[in-house]
């Protein structure tokens, strides 16, 4: 176990003892994710290529007498910092708000799928920033799902857990997200990216070792926070549904030639569809490079993805554009915004020898605009969710 993970596992066990008395029965971990490429394609049955981070969410859990589920998180503030206890049968969509909706929504979703649960206590901690576009929500759902299913003898395959976690997020939390983040948290393997076909559920593990090409992947947290429930994400999703209907296809995935979107009369809808169609193509091109062991050539695809998300899909934000521009000017091979958009992190592929140049260039560009310095971290493709203890 990595030192950092062991430390946070100790911390969460300590928190469990302090809140509930007694020992947890186990500790489970689910990672945050980076999406190498394939943005805003998952909910249209498209292709994505994420990998797992070494950091994530840790849950210490144990069974308890009775039929209630108790949750506590080190990340919660104010009143929300207290233990929250809810009878399992009282869990219904809309009944719980805030951070607790993620773990409690997971319990709801497992029960709604016919898996019996009984009294449980959970203590939660994380070494992953929230709202930074690194899928802290999916990590929280998936760590909770592993804990609940193991404690209560629920046998569900991981792709099915991903679907149940996604349902919790869609229906209980009310965020209309796709399946990428939960799949990444549960299915990724160290040293690999996961090619996921969101239409069929088919996966392929592709080796991702940028160091072999003298490169490093960096995650730059732009400091701008996003919320997938604020309506703009849902609006993009609706535009894709509308374009699918007007183009008379089952899914935008069926449009392979970007020129085929020319038939859409509305220029905005045309741009949205163009992004999805070209992004699916870029994922295929990126996957082909990884299959050939040529991660060094990924750069232009990342930068094209960013341009399309900025200009066609219009989900980028100023601090992301500035970080991408500064990184490229400082010698990065490629860079792009990640996740749902309107806040979060940027992914940069840079020569390993140029990490500090790139980080400095972004920090200078931010300082010039009086923005707080962004946090920059190396992103190593890591293992998916697992039991730690």
Interacting residues with ligand GLA (CB under 6 A): 39-40, 42-43, 135, 177-178, 180-181, 228, 339-340
Grouping H, G, I as helix, E, B as strand and the rest as coil, residue 125 is strand
Indicate left, alpha or beta for 189 from its phi (over 0: left) and psi (-120 to 50: alpha).
Answer: beta
CB of residue 94 to ligand GLA, shortest distance in Å: 20
Which CB sits closer to ligand GLA, 139 or 363? 139
Tell the residue number behind the tokens 């560009």, with chain if given.
365
As measured in angstroms, the least distance from the Cβ of 232 to ligand GLA is 11
Rounded least distance, CB 176 to ligand GLA, Å: 9
16 vs 102 by CB, closer to ligand GLA? 102
CB of 341 to ligand GLA, least distance (A): 7
Tell me the closest approach of the beta carbon of residue 180 to ligand GLA, in angstroms.
5
Question: Which one of the listed residues 127, 181, 254, 311 is annotated catalytic?
Answer: 181
CB-nearer residue toward ligand GLA: 9 or 302: 302
Q: Which residues have CB under 8 Å from 81's CB, separation 6+? A: 72, 73
370: buried, middle or exposed (CB in 10 Å: 19+, 13-18, 0-12)?
A: exposed
Other CB atoms within 10 A of residue 85 CB: 14
Our CB check for ligand GLA shows the closer of 50 and 351 to be: 50
Q: Is 181 a catalytic residue?
A: yes
Q: Using alpha carbons only, how large is the chain's radius of gyration in Å?
A: 21
Measure Cα distances from 55 to 111, 116, 153, 170, 241 in Å. Answer: 28, 30, 27, 24, 34
Query: For 180, left (φ over 0), alpha (ψ -120 to 50), or beta?
Result: alpha
| Two structure tokens written together for 87 | 């009878």
Q: Which helix (H) or strand (E) holds 194?
A: strand 192-197
Considering beta carbons, is residue 192 or 226 the nearer one to ligand GLA?
A: 226
On the CB side of 253, CA atoms within 13 Å amount to 18
Positions annotated as catalytic residues are 181
């Amino acid at each position: 176990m990595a030192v950092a993970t062991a430390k946070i596992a100790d911390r969460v066990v300590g928190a469990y003892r302090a809140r509930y008395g007694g020992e947890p029965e186990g500790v489970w971990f689910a990672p945050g994710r980076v999406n190498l490429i394939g943005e805003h394609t998952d909910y249209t049955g498209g292709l994505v290529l994420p990998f797992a981070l070494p950091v994530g969410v840790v849950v210490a859990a144990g069974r308890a007498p009775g039929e209630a589920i108790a949750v506590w998180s080190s990340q919660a503030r104010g009143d929300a910092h207290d233990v929250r206890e809810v009878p399992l049968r009282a869990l219904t969509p809309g009944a719980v708000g805030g951070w607790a909706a993620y773990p409690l929504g997971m319990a709801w979703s497992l029960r709604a799928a016919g898996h019996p649960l009984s009294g449980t206590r959970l203590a939660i901690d994380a070494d992953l920033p929230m709202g930074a576009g690194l899928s802290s929500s999916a990590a929280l759902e998936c760590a909770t799902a592993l804990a609940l299913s193991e404690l209560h003898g629920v046998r569900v395959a991981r792709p099915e857990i991903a679907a149940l976690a996604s349902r919790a997020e869609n229906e209980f939390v009310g965020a209309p997200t796709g399946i990428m983040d939960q799949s990444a948290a549960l299915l990724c393997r160290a040293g690999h990216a996961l090619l996921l076909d969101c239409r069929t559920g088919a996966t392929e593990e592709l080796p991702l070792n940028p160091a072999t090409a003298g490169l490093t992947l960096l995650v730059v947290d732009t400091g701008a926070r996003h919320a997938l429930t604020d309506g703009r994400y849902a609006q993009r999703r609706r535009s894709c549904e509308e374009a699918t209907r007007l183009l008379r296809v089952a899914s935008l995935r069926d449009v392979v030639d970007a020129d085929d979107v020319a038939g859409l009369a509305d220029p905005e809808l045309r741009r949205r569809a163009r992004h999805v169609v070209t992004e699916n193509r870029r994922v295929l091109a990126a996957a082909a490079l990884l299959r050939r062991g040529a991660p060094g050539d990924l750069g232009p695809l990342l930068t094209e993805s960013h341009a399309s998300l900025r200009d066609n899909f219009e989900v980028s934000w100023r601090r992301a554009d500035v970080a991408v521009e500064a990184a490229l000017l400082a010698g990065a091979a490629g860079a792009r915004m990640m996740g749902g958009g309107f806040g979060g992190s940027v992914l940069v592929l840079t020569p390993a020898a140029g990490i500090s140049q790139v980080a400095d260039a972004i920090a200078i560009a931010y300082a010039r605009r009086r923005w707080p310095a962004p946090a920059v971290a190396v992103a190593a493709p890591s293992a998916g969710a697992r039991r730690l203890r």
